[in-house]
Structure 1
Amino acid sequence: MITTLSAEALALNPIRFEVSFKEPQAHYAEITMEIDRVKEDYVDVKMPVWAPGSYLVREFSKNVEGFHAKDANGRPLTSRKVSKNTWRVSSKGAGKIMVSYRVYAFEVSVRTSFIDASHAFLSPTGIFMYVDNQINRPAEVKIIPHKSWNKISTGLMEKEGEVNTYFAADFDILFDAPIEVGNQDVFEFTAAGIPHEVAMVSGGNYDKVRLAKDMAKIVESATAIFGENPNKKYVFIVHNYHSGGGGLEHLNSTVLGASRFNYNSESGYKSFLSLVAHEYFHLWNIKRLRPEALGPFNYDQENYTTNLWIGEGFTAYYDNLLVRRAGFHTEDSYLQMLATDVTAVENRPGNQVQPLSESSFDAWIKYYRQDENSLNSIVSYYNKGALIAMMMDLKILHSTKGQKGLDDVMREAYNEFYKKQGKGYSDAAFKDLAEKVAGTSLDDIYHLVNTAGSPDYNKYLQFVGLELVDLNAGYETPDLGIKTSTTDNKLLVQNVIRGGGAWDGGINVKDELIAINGYRIDATGKELERVVQASRIGDVVKMLVSRDGIIQELAVKVQASKTGKYAFMPAENVTAEQQQLREKWLAEQ
């Protein structure tokens, strides 16, 4: 699939890069950067500190080595580092500056570059530098594959007449176009009138014919929501690992992590399709329809928004829903997955502490930097955002008597903010638009977003004749309120649950549990579990622990477990209207 550019576009004086691989086995890429028409006394060359779609400052400049600059005649130019990610080059009237540097790349993830003898995955924000204040300048990238590699997969446009050379109209586009170089297994399919390329890296037990057919269904299902597909082509880069997962969205491509031998299991295959659906839905939601803070990007620092519950949470709602609409989930299995989200949210004490909007805003410092207390202090804008999306969808279906739903909000928002206004939405603007579609106030939904705590799920589920039940309700299971792990044949405390007996009794994370009520605890925790389960609610047990080598005995009160197990059940006396709305909500396409 080759997309070419006009001579007018190519005449915009791009910054030119060349990427080669002299030592791929040592995990290095060699980069040269040609900056033409330099008129200033100096040029600041910068490396981004984060990758859009992954809200954490990752300090990509830490992987840069051997930065040098010279003029067009090969004469050295003075350069010095002036900040953690900025190199200042004195031009001396050179007119053209040639920069060279190396990047070490050996971190396995969908958002970081990885190079070894078998292939190179280039996550562009960690590979390509830019000239300060020249993000809007075009860029060309020439890839020189290692001699043992023969394929390049990327969403970048190919430059006509030049081998392995690609063009980006600006650096936002360049930074949004990952590049896979190697011997990947490539297959194609067409869906929604758009050619799609799938680059499978590192093998696996996948069936290309089946995948092409089923991924096409996901694409068609997502496109139907928005009424158009804005791509000229789309590229899936799939990294298959012994055990892998995750994905990162891009403008006309995505990078997926998968387990290479999971394609033959029903659950593994459907999980992969949900990942495909999630990242593909981002093509509209986040990459085009976006919060106002997420573009144009500041690549030097965090870009804060309170709306990741929409950008990520709504996408997490639609991923499994699209798989359901495409015919891969039964109604019951889909509802079970929604109940799993409820379980994840309600069994997390942080749900009672952190509002969803704050979870979005603080993603940079909390969600992507979780520690042993995160369970108690934060909530996921993915899980809870998906549940908010569900409740909003059900409320709109109810208020419009099934004529409209969340699909209509997303389509209208895409048309209004992206296509008509060409900018991101504010909190208030998105709410106003959603209420206009719904024909009713959404204050109750936004109250759930802006305050911590458990929603009244059944307030919304009853619209479609369903009821959320806690299968553990009525049972009192003795519990200490800790999670443990075994390390070096020692039973260690991994988490202490807020409000539990261990929390009140002073048990600490990293405490080694030695004995309970005078009985030695085995490293697997079976004896601990036996004694606790034999206790009564309110009993006080004596815990012998080692904390930094100091032996202590602590009194811990046994409490009833607060862990819920949730399921969606049919409500009693379901009306015809409720049944019709449920069919509308969960219908296959």
Structure 2
Amino acid sequence: MKKLLALSILAACSTSAFADVNYALSISQPEHHLGNVSVEFPKTAQAHIDVKLPAWRTGRYEILNLANGVRYFHAKDENGKALKWEKIDHSTWRVHLNQPTEVNLDYQVYANELGKRARHIDDSHAFIDASGFFMFSESFRQEPVTVNLDVPKKWRSVSGMDNLKGKNTFKAADYDVLVDSPIETGINQLHTFEVDGREYDLVVWGNGNYDIDLMLSDLKKLVATGNVIWDSYPYERYVFMVHATSGAGGATEHLNSTIIQRPRDRFAKREDYLGFISTAAHEFIHTWNVKAYRPKGLVPYDYTSMNYSKLLWIAEGSTSYFEDHLLVRSGIETTDEFFKVMTKTINRHLQTPGREVQSASETSFDKWINQGGDHARNYGTNIYSEGSLLSMALDIDLLEKSQGEISYRDVHKALYNAHKMPEGFTEQDVLTILNDLTGRDYSTWWKENVDAPANLNFDELLDKVGLKLERPEKAKALASMDALAKSSGELLTLSHVRRGGSAWKAGLTIADKIVAINKHQVGKDLKTSLEMFNAGDKVTIDYIRRDELATTSIVLSEDFDKPKKVVSNKDATLEQKALFKAWIGVEHPADVKKDEK
């Protein structure tokens, strides 16, 4: 009996089922980008406890080595006595215990990486993503969490987490919620609004040429569109965090919020504003696609290793695809503006030789190691554009074969309803949903378009919804080297050489410095330098490689000064117009009067 009682006490001490893990962050030297963190773990009888800082953060599939900002690490027991510890890998500290005790940690974090959206502190604010600040232990990962901030008096703290005991204390159900609920604290603007009974915050750090009233008006329209795809919302409160800044740009989705970063002077022009609001739409969609349901390879998150999935093209690419649909349906974006986005995505795809090499499933799996630059463009693709175009192809196919009754939106509604977290979905789950919706087997389509490099016929796809991809009438033919170059002094340095193009065939490569064409010094840019030639002309290129002058001959190819554009087919049939409306949710442009556009 005594033995059983002892074992029961030991088990209770091993992981306290209802004790909070308490985090505190004190910011007393914000100008030096420093924060002091303390962590209190509940009582445990383990021989040691491993505490870790994530090696990456959710929403960015890249190892970031966030532990490199940690200094002055100390561990103590519940009586304040120092505990022995050792670092066993790049982001794990092992704390040794001689008897059951609480474990208290103290360490300093250097936070000056704004663009990674994981940790940043300065004299005006702090952006706190738990992955960049707060260590965790797998033993207590599912325990409740509290966070207390000690920040300058004039700072305001906002998060998607529940607020407790005043403005600077937050609570989360567990570490997974904490790590997916960033905090913005500092000198900021805060605007609140309500739509359909749900609460929203817009918090903006930094001055810029933004129009708050326009942002609020459009965000209200945007958040009302969730039922276009899904039949319920996965939150009761949502926070839009905006950084109007310099030297950083991008955005990240979170469980109950998003962080959007843009240059402070990139809001006022219509094109710039559309960039902002489309980003907001993208992150809003992620509240379902990725946060409420996501591929099995990402469930549960492993914060210290790469999380592989062949379905990131759905997680990210389909999100990119849907963002403009919601903007058009809500009246925020016009169909002409939507066509410009489509044009850009299609032309980027057609100008990327890597589309012939890497499939959507391959680029999804390799997202963690994908390179940038010339090699990636020649031999790879990306999950965003490829996933968006595959989503469009599948959507139009579903709509056409069902006379507008079934769409790709129905696939995502089914994923949400049948595969909510913590269950991840698989490739087979998607194929099963497609079969259930249509009665057709999509496995062959999947093999040809997802598991192999997709060969999309945009003329056929667009024609089905009453659109065309055509060259502007006034477009002029140009001679081309199938390469891009940047000015470097009086020379032009090649920055991209298209695989299989004329420069590639002539043996030119990136970093080659073009000196002269047919013995004439190059002009200010490559396009200008080739204006006197025609497609098919054979020219001599003098260039510098490894500080030595070399010469090659090249046969120039044909290009145009204006790319093909997605436009409305004025002669679209009634069937095409009906499919267009079922696809995007508004009337076909041919049926819209000029004064209504």
Could you tell me how far apart the structure 2 residues matched to 1:572 and 1:521 are?
44
- Write out per-residue CA displacement over residues 210-248 of structure 1, whole angstroms, 9 at most, x where no aligned residue: 322210110001244212112121111100124754210
Please report how far the alpha carbon of residue 353 of structure 1 lies from its aligned counterpart in structure 2 after TM superposition. Answer: 1.3
1:444 Cα deviation after fit: 5.9
**Residues 112-149 of structure 1, C-alpha deviation per residue, up to 9 Å, x if partnerless?**
211111111112111111113432222211111134x3
1:158 aligned partner: 163
- Aligned residue number for residue 180 of structure 1: 184
Q: Is the 1:353–1:453 Cα contact (8 Å) retained in structure 2?
A: no
Residue aligned with 1:20, SS:
strand
TM-score, length basis structure 1: 0.91
Contact 2:496/2:510 (8 A) holds in 1: yes
Q: Which moved more, 1:489-498 or 1:472-481?
A: 472-481
> Which residue identity lines up with residue 276 of structure 2 in the other structure?
F
Match of 1:207 in 2: 211
Question: In structure 2, how many angstroms separate the alpha carbons of the residues matched to 1:322 and 1:475?
Answer: 35
Q: RMSD over aligned Cα, in angstroms?
A: 2.4
Aligned equivalents of 2:460, 2:521: Cα separation in 1: 49
Inter-CA distance 581–538: structure 2 relative to 1 (3 Å threshold): closer
| Cα-to-partner distance string for 1:168-218 (whole Å, 9 max, x where unaligned) | 211111110111110110001112321001110002233333322210110
Q: Which amino acid aligns with 2:419?
A: F
Paired amino acid for 1:122 = I
Kept in 2, the 8 Å contact 1:347–1:563? The answer is no
Tell me how far apart the structure 2 counterparts of residues 36 and 223 of structure 1 sit (CA, whole Å): 42
Output the CA distance in 2 between the equivalents of 1:530 and 1:457.
31
1:442 aligns with 2:421: no
How high is the TM-score relative to the length of structure 2?
0.90
Amino acid paired to 1:342: I
CA distance in 2, matches of 1:143, 1:511: 53
Q: Residue 155 of structure 2 aligns to which amino acid in structure 1?
A: N
- Aligned partner of 2:545 in structure 1 is 547
Answering whether residue 272 of structure 2 is matched by residue 268 of structure 1, we say: yes
**Contact preservation (8 Å) 1:244, 1:257:** yes
Q: Retained in 2: the 8 A contact 1:399–1:439?
A: no
Aligned to 1:566: 564
Match of 1:229 among 233, 239, 246: 233
Q: How far apart, CA to CA, are the structure 2 residues paired with 1:228 and 1:384?
A: 28
Q: Deviations over 1:297-319 (max 9, x none)?
A: 11111111111111111110111
Aligned to 1:466: 467
Classify 1:343/1:114 alpha carbon distance in 2 versus 1 (closer, same or farther; 3 Å): same
Aligned-partner SS, 1:136 = coil
Code of the aligned partner of 2:102: K
CA shift for structure 1 position 543 = 2.1
> CA 1:563 to 1:377, structure 2 compared with 1: closer, same or farther past 3 Å?
farther
Q: Is the 8 A contact 1:54 1:111 kept in 2?
A: no
3-state DSSP of counterpart to 2:354: helix
Deviations 1:264-317 (A, max 9, x none): 322222222111111000000111121111121111111111111111111101
Please name the residue that 1:7 is paired with: none
Give the whole-Å Cα distance in 2 for the aligned partners of 1:489 and 1:40. Answer: 67
Q: What residue in structure 2 maps to residue 24 of structure 1?
A: 30
Deviates more, 1:256-265 or 1:471-480: 471-480
Map of 1:253-402 to 2, 5 A cutoff?
Answer: 253-366=257-370, 369-402=371-404
Match for residue 557 of structure 1? 555
C-alpha distance in 2 between matches for 1:15 and 1:97: 10
1:140 aligns with 2:149: no
Distance 2:513 2:399 in 1: 53
For the 8 Å contact 1:480–1:558, the answer to whether it is kept is yes
Q: Name the residue aligned to 1:427.
A: 427
Q: Which residue number corresponds to residue 20 of structure 2?
A: 14
Deviation for aligned residue 1:573:
5.5
When residues 568 and 537 of structure 1 are mapped into structure 2, their CA distance, relative to the original with a 3 A threshold, is closer
Work out the percentage of aligned pairs sharing the same amino acid. Answer: 29
**Which residue does 2:408 correspond to in 1?**
406
CA distance 1:501–1:457, shift in 2 (3 Å): closer
Q: SS at 1:544's partner residue?
A: strand
Structure 2 unaligned runs (5+)? Answer: 1-15, 588-597
Q: Which residue is 1:478 aligned to?
A: 479
Return the letter of the residue paired with 1:541: V
Q: 1:19 to 1:547 in 2, by over 3 A?
A: same
Distance in structure 2 (CA, Å) of the matches to 1:510 and 1:221: 47
Aligned-partner residue type, residue 90 of structure 2: K
Q: Secondary structure at the match of 1:394?
A: helix
Q: CA contact under 8 A between 1:399 and 1:440: conserved in structure 2?
A: no
> In structure 2, how many angstroms separate the alpha carbons of the residues matched to 1:565 and 1:436?
40
> Structure 1 residue 463: deviation in Å?
2.6
SS in 2 for 1:274: helix
Q: Which amino acid aligns with 1:63?
A: G
SS at match of 1:435: helix
Contact 2:243 2:261 in 1 (8 A): yes
Correspondence for 1:5? none
C-alpha distance 358-11 of structure 1, shift in aligned 2 (>3 A): closer
Q: Distance in 2 between matches of 1:86 and 1:277?
A: 36
Name the amino acid aligned to 1:418. K
Per the alignment, in what secondary structure is the counterpart of residue 22 of structure 1? strand
- For the 8 Å contact 1:353–1:452, the answer to whether it is kept is yes
SS in structure 2 at match of 1:396:
helix
What does residue 452 of structure 2 align with? 451
Judge conservation of contact 2:541–2:551 (CA < 8 Å) in 1. yes
Within the candidate set 53, 57, 64, 1:51 is matched to 57
Tell whether the 8 Å contact from 1:192 to 1:223 is kept in structure 2 after alignment.
Answer: no
The Cα offsets for residues 488-512 of structure 1, whole Å up to 9 and x where unpaired, read as 5542111111011221222221122
Distance in 2, matches of 1:133 and 1:38, equals 9
SS at match of 2:296: coil
Change (3 A) 1:181 1:573: closer
Question: Structure 1: where are the runs of 5+ without partners?
Answer: 1-9
- Pairwise CA distance, 1:464: 2.0
1:410-449 deviations in whole A, cap 9, x for unaligned?
Answer: 1122111117xx5111001112202322343434642222
| Contact 2:87–2:93 (CA under 8 A) maintained in structure 1 | yes
Asked if structure 1 preserves the Cα contact closer than 8 Å seen for 2:193 and 2:200, the reply is: yes
Alignment of 1:530-541 (within 5 A): 530-541=528-539
Matched-pair contact (CA < 8 Å) for 1:189–1:197: yes
Q: CA deviation at 1:11?
A: 7.5
Shift of 1:72: 2.5
